[in-house]
């Protein structure tokens, strides 16, 4: 599944905590002065000749998709949700000029529970990535290249689509600096932004003397959503068996505590849901497609506390936690616990790129209160000089080291799979391959008989085949079933109301995955049930050449993923083509289908080195707007290679394939392929046959035989 190599910010927690705060608790004065959020970023907005972003209505007009008219700039023309939201701006306890609505929950989750889909509710745009910004008379949505076409279709004319990454398109902060007069107040829900993201935003808008307001006690979208908002999930958790986890909880906690000792810390706050699940060998179903549950975890030198709704913890899970020395507290108690740790002088390890701004500002506030003493002391002078976060060491607060701001110690440990996790991933991929072989055999027969099938019906049938496999739990993301022009929408999601029928006149792209008890899968294949055009065959072949080049890569240890990205794009670049998404993302073991910290992307900011045991996707593509889409995706395991030399005494790494499903040979233009590339295809198909055919019988086995024949025999 194609993904942009970037993490946004998020939030879900603390209804009880917020309710316990003073009503109308914006409290921007004390929070803003005590906790200057962020390092300074240069403001690159403004200037003559800047490309102006078009509203979605104008984009539709130019494409002939809509004749609707109206100005996105007019508040009076806005839909009822925008009008209701803007009315809240004027309340005395809010008093803001703009409000930012990100996609995530309080845990930086990509997939979120329905009750937290605030951006989708407000905008109508259902893609998994995007940020909405509403001022008193404008509304704009930012999303990346995976979702441009989808956003054009889903946004009403009241919204302006900002195509992030395109030349001349401003960032959210640049846009706010441009459209707001100096000295405005920009509001956010601090639970929905990581501390780093909030700091960056604050500093960026400060260039125009704007003020970042942490709107406490309410989320404004929730206010207008009202009683129609879905209830939070209450699904039970389960123990992830040690035969799949590989390492027991006490051993994992011991590792985390050794990291605390090395860094001189007393405790670490873990807020990423997959990190909590991995560390405690637990799984849940609070979030669609991801076997995680809403929770926080604090690990101290001698204790560990899981903050979770008690109704989700069965007797078996409670016994599992007690044996590991983990105690329970209510989910909403995370803020008060962080405040308690601050009051007792604990030094915390905080991943400010993922822990939300509400938690970290609460910790810093309590540190301040402890230093300043009880009521009656003068605080004004100290508040005016407490700008450590901007001008000094971010780990120093009022001259005392109170926290270490570093990447979570769980992130890297989780990304390097142990032997049991690798075995589970390999086994689950073979069962998944068998399901896909049965599915593709069925689909080809149905198309051949001219049976009418929609994109949705095909996705539902694929689910049926997967459900027959042992250990199947659910899909790992919404299946991307895109025929023809819909395949060019990188994260297309068909619906019964608007999906296309699949035929034999164009390319069909199918990107799907599954969660099994022992592993997580993600695979994309592009096929044609008729005769592809020369243009389509050339594009497909060049995508395949990029896929092969990355699969065959050999690289020294400590190589970050971005170094390899060019291998997947080079063949496309030779004829002036490219694609607007990362080439590879990390994948969890029976966890999130998108996992960090590793990635393979043109975004060179991620310096995480690929390591033995990591799993990444290999998914170059090409998308011709309003025509067709192509993507070929396998999952790869990073492995150490035994080479004749070892220059510099270091190890060299390569990849081992986990995915074994045929690549449609008739789409390959052999004349463009080198002998070694043809050998790669033939060797891969031979391996597919050897590994998957024992799991099949009848027509599906015959289909696999036919589709794994050597390329030159086709």
Kindly report, residue by residue over 337-377, the tens digit of the pLDDT. 999 999 999 999 999 999 999 999 999 988 888 776 644 45
348-350/326-329 β-pairing: unpaired
Alpha carbon distance 254, 261 (integer Å) = 11
pLDDT of residue 498: 84
pLDDT of residue 400: 56
> Using alpha carbons only, how large is the chain's radius of gyration in Å?
26
DSSP letter string over 113-164? -GGG-HHHHHH----SS-EEEEESS-EEEEE-TTSHHHHHHHS-TTSEEEET
Considering the domain architecture, whether residues 595 and 702 belong to the same structural domain is answered as yes
Lowest mean pLDDT across 29-38, 188-197, 320-329: 29-38
Tell me the two tokens of residue 593.
Answer: 């289908």
Residue 480 three-state SS? strand
Instruction: Evaluate whether residue 701 is within a structural domain.
Output: yes
Considering the domain architecture, whether residues 571 and 619 belong to the same structural domain is answered as yes
pLDDT of residue 13: 32
Q: What's the pLDDT band for 3 if we cut at 50, 70, 90?
A: low
Q: What's the pLDDT band for 383 if we cut at 50, 70, 90?
A: very low
If you average pLDDT over residues 549-564, what whole number do you get?
97
Res 165 pLDDT > 80: yes
If you average pLDDT over residues 589-606, what whole number do you get?
93
Considering the domain architecture, whether residues 301 and 159 belong to the same structural domain is answered as no
Residues 301-311 as b/e (b if ≥16 CB within 10 A, e otherwise) read eeebbbbbbee
Considering the domain architecture, whether residues 207 and 268 belong to the same structural domain is answered as no
Instruction: Evaluate whether residue 92 is within a structural domain.
Output: yes
Which of 491, 542, 536 has the alpha carbon at shortest distance from 512?
491
The domain that contains 297 carries what CATH number? 3.40.350.10
The domain that contains 543 carries what CATH number? 3.90.230.10
Instruction: Evaluate whether residue 435 is within a structural domain.
Output: yes
CB neighbour list of residue 469: distance below 8 Å, 6 or more residues apart: 431, 432, 434, 435, 514, 516
Alpha carbon distance 197, 8 (integer Å) = 8
Alpha carbon distance 121, 149 (integer Å) = 19
Task: Name beta bridge partners: 299.
Answer: 268, 304
Phi-psi region of 124 (alpha: psi -120 to 50; beta: other; left: phi over 0): left
Residue 61 three-state SS? helix
Res 70 pLDDT > 50: no
pLDDT of residue 385: 32
Q: State how many domains the chain has.
A: 3
Instruction: Evaluate whether residue 73 is within a structural domain.
Output: no
pLDDT of residue 301: 95
Res 446 pLDDT > 60: yes
The DSSP symbol for 586 reads E
The residue to which tokens 């497909």 are assigned: 540
Considering the domain architecture, whether residues 186 and 147 belong to the same structural domain is answered as yes
pLDDT of residue 402: 85
Tell which of 165, 200, 228 closes a domain. Answer: 228
Q: What's the pLDDT band for 54 if we cut at 50, 70, 90?
A: very low
- N-terminal to C-terminal alpha carbon distance within the chain: 29
- Note down the domain range covering 249: 238-371+403-410
Q: What's the pLDDT band for 463 if we cut at 50, 70, 90?
A: very high
If you average pLDDT over residues 66-79, what whole number do you get?
40
If you average pLDDT over residues 541-563, what whole number do you get?
97
Considering the domain architecture, whether residues 573 and 694 belong to the same structural domain is answered as yes
Task: Name beta bridge partners: 512.
Answer: 523
If you average pLDDT over residues 222-229, what whole number do you get?
95
Alpha carbon distance 233, 117 (integer Å) = 13
Q: Among residues of the chain, what percentage have pLDDT more than 70?
A: 85
Kindly report the backbone phi and psi dihedral angles of residue 101, in degrees, each rounded to the nearest multiple of 5, phi listed first.
-120, 105
Alpha carbon distance 525, 664 (integer Å) = 8
Res 19 pLDDT > 60: no
pLDDT of residue 150: 85
If you average pLDDT over residues 43-65, what whole number do you get?
40
DSSP letter string over 532-584? --HHHHHHHHHHHHHHHHHHT--EETT-BGGGGHHHHHHHHHTTT---SS-SE
Which of 159, 160, 25, 24 has the alpha carbon at shortest distance from 81?
159
Tell me the two tokens of residue 33.
Answer: 């002065």
If you average pLDDT over residues 113-133, what whole number do you get?
93
H or E stretch including 483? strand 480-483
Phi-psi region of 418 (alpha: psi -120 to 50; beta: other; left: phi over 0): beta
Considering the domain architecture, whether residues 523 and 424 belong to the same structural domain is answered as yes
Lowest mean pLDDT across 27-31, 279-283, 681-685: 27-31
Which of 46, 58, 281, 61 has the alpha carbon at shortest distance from 182?
46
The residue to which tokens 């009656």 are assigned: 376
The DSSP symbol for 513 reads -
304-307/296-300 β-pairing: antiparallel
If you average pLDDT over residues 223-250, what whole number do you get?
96
Q: What's the pLDDT band for 2 if we cut at 50, 70, 90?
A: confident
Taking a C-beta distance cutoff of 8 angstroms, is the pair 195, 355 a contact? Answer: yes
pLDDT of residue 604: 83
Alpha carbon distance 519, 508 (integer Å) = 27
Kindly report, residue by residue over 613-661, the tens digit of the pLDDT. 999 999 999 999 999 999 999 999 999 999 999 898 999 999 999 999 9
Instruction: Evaluate whether residue 52 is within a structural domain.
Output: no
Instruction: Evaluate whether residue 674 is within a structural domain.
Output: yes
Instruction: Evaluate whether residue 149 is within a structural domain.
Output: yes
Considering the domain architecture, whether residues 274 and 423 belong to the same structural domain is answered as no
Considering the domain architecture, whether residues 121 and 247 belong to the same structural domain is answered as no
Considering the domain architecture, whether residues 467 and 322 belong to the same structural domain is answered as no
More confident residue, 250 or 74: 250
Alpha carbon distance 357, 367 (integer Å) = 15
Mean pLDDT, the chain, rounded, equals 87
CB neighbour list of residue 700: distance below 8 Å, 6 or more residues apart: 434, 437, 438, 441, 442
Considering the domain architecture, whether residues 573 and 649 belong to the same structural domain is answered as yes
Instruction: Evaluate whether residue 183 is within a structural domain.
Output: yes
Considering the domain architecture, whether residues 673 and 702 belong to the same structural domain is answered as yes
Q: Using CA atoms in the order 681, 683, 685, 687, what is the torsion angle rounded to 10 degrees? A: -150
Tell which of 200, 228, 256 closes a domain. Answer: 228
Tell which of 410, 437, 469 closes a domain. Answer: 410
pLDDT of residue 28: 35
pLDDT of residue 401: 65
């Amino acid at each position: 599944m194609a993904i942009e190599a970037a993490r946004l910010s998020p939030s879900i927690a603390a209804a009880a905590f917020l309710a316990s705060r003073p009503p109308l608790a914006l409290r921007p004065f004390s929070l803003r002065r005590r906790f200057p959020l962020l390092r300074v970023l240069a403001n690159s907005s403004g200037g003559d000749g800047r490309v102006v972003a078009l509203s979605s209505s104008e984009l539709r007009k130019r494409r002939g998709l809509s004749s609707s008219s109206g100005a996105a700039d007019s508040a009076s023309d806005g839909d009822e949700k925008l009008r209701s939201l803007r009315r809240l701006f004027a309340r005395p306890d809010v008093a803001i000029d703009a409000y930012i609505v990100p996609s995530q929950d309080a845990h930086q989750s990509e997939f979120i529970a329905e009750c937290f889909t605030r951006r989708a509710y407000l905008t109508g745009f259902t893609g998994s990535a995007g940020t909405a910004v509403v001022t008193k008379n404008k509304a704009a949505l930012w999303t990346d290249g995976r979702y441009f076409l989808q956003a054009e279709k889903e946004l009403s004319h009241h919204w302006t689509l900002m195509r992030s990454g395109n030349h001349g398109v401003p960032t959210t902060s640049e846009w706010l600096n441009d459209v707001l007069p100096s000295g405005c107040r920009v509001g956010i829900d601090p639970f929905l932004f990581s501390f780093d993201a909030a700091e960056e935003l604050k500093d960026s808008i400060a260039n125009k003397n704007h003020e970042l307001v942490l709107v406490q006690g309410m989320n404004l979208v929730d206010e207008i959503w009202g009683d129609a908002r879905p209830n939070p999930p209450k699904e039970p958790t389960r123990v992830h068996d040690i035969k799949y986890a590989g390492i027991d909880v006490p051993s994992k906690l011991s590792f985390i505590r050794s990291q605390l000792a090395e860094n001189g810390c007393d405790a670490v706050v873990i807020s990423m849901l997959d990190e909590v699940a991995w560390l405690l060998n637990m799984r849940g179903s609070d979030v669609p497609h991801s076997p995680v549950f809403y929770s926080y975890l604090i690990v101290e030198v001698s204790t560990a506390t899981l903050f979770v709704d008690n109704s989700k913890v069965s007797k078996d899970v409670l016994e599992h936690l007690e044996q590991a020395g983990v105690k329970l507290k209510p989910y909403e108690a995370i803020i008060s616990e962080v405040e308690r740790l601050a009051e007792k002088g604990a030094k915390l390890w905080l991943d400010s790129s993922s822990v939300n701004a509400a938690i970290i500002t609460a910790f810093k506030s309590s540190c301040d209160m402890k230093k300043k003493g009880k009521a009656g002391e003068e605080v004004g002078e100290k508040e005016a000089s407490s700008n450590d976060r901007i001008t000094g060491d971010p780990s120093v607060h009022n001259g005392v080291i109170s926290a270490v701001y570093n990447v979570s110690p769980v992130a890297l440990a989780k990304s390097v799979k142990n032997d049991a996790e690798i075995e589970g991933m390999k086994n689950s991929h073979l069962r998944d391959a068998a399901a896909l072989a049965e599915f593709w055999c069925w689909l080809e027969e149905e198309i051949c008989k001219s049976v009418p099938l929609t994109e949705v019906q095909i996705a539902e049938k694929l689910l049926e085949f997967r459900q027959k496999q042992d250990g199947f739990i659910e899909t790992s993301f919404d299946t991307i079933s895109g025929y023809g022009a819909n395949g060019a929408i990188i994260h297309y999601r068909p619906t019964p109301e608007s999906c296309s029928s699949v035929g034999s006149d164009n390319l069909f792209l199918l990107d799907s995955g599954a969660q099994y008890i022992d592993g997580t899968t993600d695979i994309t294949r592009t096929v044609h049930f008729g005769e592809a055009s020369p243009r389509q065959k050339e594009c497909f072949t060049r995508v395949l050449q990029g896929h092969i080049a990355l699969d065959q890569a050999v690289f020294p240890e400590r190589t970050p993923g971005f170094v390899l990205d060019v291998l997947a794009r080079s063949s496309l670049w030779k004829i002036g083509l490219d694609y607007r998404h990362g080439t590879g993302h990390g994948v969890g073991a029976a966890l999130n289908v998108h996992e960090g910290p590793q990635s393979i992307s043109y975004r060179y900011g991620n310096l995480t080195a690929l390591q033995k045991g990591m799993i990444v996707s290999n998914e170059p593509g090409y998308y011709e707007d309003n025509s067709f889409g192509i993507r070929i995706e396998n999952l790869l395991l990073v492995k150490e290679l035994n080479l004749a030399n070892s220059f510099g005494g270091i190890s060299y790494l390569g990849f081992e394939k986990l995915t074994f499903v045929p690549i449609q040979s008739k789409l390959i233009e052999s004349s463009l392929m080198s002998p070694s590339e043809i050998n790669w295809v033939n060797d891969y198909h031979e391996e597919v046959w050897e590994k998957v055919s024992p799991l099949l019988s009848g027509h599906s086995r015959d289909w696999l035989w036919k589709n794994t024949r050597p390329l030159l025999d086709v």
